[in-house]
């Protein structure tokens, strides 16, 4: 049986961490839904930067924008093509959304990374994007920064489905789960809200491994490649405590959904590690794994599903995190640094995309002349 389908039997949804117009128009996204049981798509500024600015595939679509608006700038060009990709992907996944009663079938779109430290503008931008896409199966991505947390709460209270991103440390998870619950308490119809808490994996190992390599003790080297998974396992235990305990029972009685942990950054970056490391070891009920295309293909080819691995060896995971602390590597410090770097990286990708589009708009046939005549 297809290993990706087996994950679904364990209560885990598979989303694709990639979007490109050809993926949709060539029927590949529909095939992934039909054959592999794909249940969602995530995007971010880096993914759009590679898709739109990385070749000529979008030139025809970009050329059509000034026909409607001769004064369109790079931001307008980006939104016209990106939002159309999101709409088409959402339409492809609409059947999944309907079949699961709004639990799955989502496409995620991120607010501008330049708003990561601005609460009020993040709220306004999330609502604007949600209205612009105008599809029920859209999740707006908001980072779990200090200023993002109150924005998340306000958006949940207003009934929007939110994908909270750039989470690396246990404190990030606590803040996000709290914001979700507070938002639902203020929401008039909580059963219509879906949310995922995107907890990043491979980037944690990359940074922690780098610190471990500087240390001499053998016990330090034993921890390499283990902290990312251990971090997720302890977060999952906390998820179970919060959402299946008394704390959430009243909201559950009002029809509210649990906020599923989503394992992000699950493409293995270290070539010495298994290319399905962050899939095989993070299988569990009420979770999502959003995979890059290469990881999804690898797992389909040789992945193994041996049960709810997210709940295996939890005591060993806690021990590994304790050992890390004893080695003077603080996971909270690592997580906060990774979050800062993530915001900066997405902002840089977004700026590179706009710069590339600004050049492209002048090179596309007819665009410059139309702009001058305007």
If we measure between CA atoms, which residue out of 123, 129, 125 comes closest to residue 149?
123
In the chain the first and final C-alpha atoms are separated, in Å, by 59
* Distance of alpha carbon 8 from alpha carbon 276, whole angstroms: 16
If we measure between CA atoms, which residue out of 92, 124, 93, 99 comes closest to residue 111?
124
Local structure of residue 340 (DSSP, 8 states): H
Domains in the chain, start-ordered, CATH in brackets?
3-373 (3.20.20.70)
pLDDT single digits (tens) 303-321: 999 999 999 999 999 999 9
Strands 287-291 and 195-200, sheet pairing:
unpaired
pLDDT single digits (tens) 87-135: 999 999 999 999 999 999 999 999 999 999 999 999 999 999 999 999 9
* Distance of alpha carbon 80 from alpha carbon 110, whole angstroms: 15
pLDDT (0 to 100) of residue 366: 53
Local structure of residue 318 (DSSP, 8 states): H
Q: What angle do CA 23, 25, 30 make, to 5 degrees?
A: 65
Cα dist from 145 to 48, 173, 183, 191, 336, whole Å: 22, 11, 16, 26, 9
pLDDT (0 to 100) of residue 364: 66
Catalytic-residue membership of 141: yes
| Token pair belonging to 156 | 């949940």
Annotated catalytic residue, options 141, 226, 233, 360? 141
Residues of the chain predicted below pLDDT 70: 364-374
**Cβ–Cβ under 8 Å, residues 334 and 207:** yes
Please list the residues that pair with 196 across neighbouring strands. Answer: 163, 260
In this prediction the pTM is 0.94
Burial code (b: 16+ CB inside 10 Å, e: under 16) for 193-216 equals bbbbbbbbbbbbbebbbebbeeee
pLDDT (0 to 100) of residue 217: 82
């Amino acid at each position: 049986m297809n290993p990706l389908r087996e994950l679904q039997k364990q209560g885990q949804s598979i989303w694709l961490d990639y979007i490109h117009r050809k993926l949709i128009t060539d029927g590949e996204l529909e095939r992934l839904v039909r054959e592999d049981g794909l249940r969602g798509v995530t995007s971010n500024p880096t993914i759009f930067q590679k898709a739109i600015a990385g070749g000529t595939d979008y030139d025809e679509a970009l050329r059509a924008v000034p026909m409607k608006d001769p004064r369109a700038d790079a931001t307008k060009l980006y939104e016209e093509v990106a939002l159309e990709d999101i709409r088409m992907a959402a339409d492809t996944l609409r059947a999944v959304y309907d079949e699961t009663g709004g639990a799955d079938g989502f496409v995620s779109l991120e607010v501008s990374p330049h708003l990561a430290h601005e609460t009020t503008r993040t709220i306004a931008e999330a609502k604007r994007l949600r209205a612009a896409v105008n599809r029920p199966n859209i999740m707006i991505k908001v980072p779990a920064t200090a200023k993002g947390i109150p924005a998340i709460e306000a958006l949940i209270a207003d009934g929007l489905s939110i994908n909270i991103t750039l989470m690396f440390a246990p404190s990030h998870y606590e803040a996000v789960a709290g914001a979700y619950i507070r938002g639902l308490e203020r929401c008039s119809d909580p059963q219509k809200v879906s949310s995922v808490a995107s907890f990043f994996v491979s980037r944690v190992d990359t940074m922690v491994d780098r610190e471990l390599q500087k240390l001499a003790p053998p016990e330090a080297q034993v921890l390499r490649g283990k902290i990312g998974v251990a971090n997720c396992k302890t977060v999952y235990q906390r998820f179970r405590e919060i959402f299946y305990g008394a704390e959430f029972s009243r909201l559950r009685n009002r029809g509210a959904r649990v906020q599923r942990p989503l394992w992000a950054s699950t493409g293995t970056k270290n070539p010495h590690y298994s290319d399905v490391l962050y899939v095989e070891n993070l299988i569990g009920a009420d979770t999502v794994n959003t995979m890059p295309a290469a990881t999804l293909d690898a797992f389909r080819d040789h992945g193994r599903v041996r049960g709810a691995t997210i709940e295996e060896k939890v005591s060993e995971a806690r021990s590994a995190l304790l050992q890390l602390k004893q080695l003077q590597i603080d996971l909270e410090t690592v997580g906060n640094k990774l979050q800062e770097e993530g915001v900066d990286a997405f902002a840089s990708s977004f700026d590179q995309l706009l710069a590339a589009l600004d050049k492209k708009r002048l090179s596309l046939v007819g665009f410059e002349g139309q702009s001058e005549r305007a």
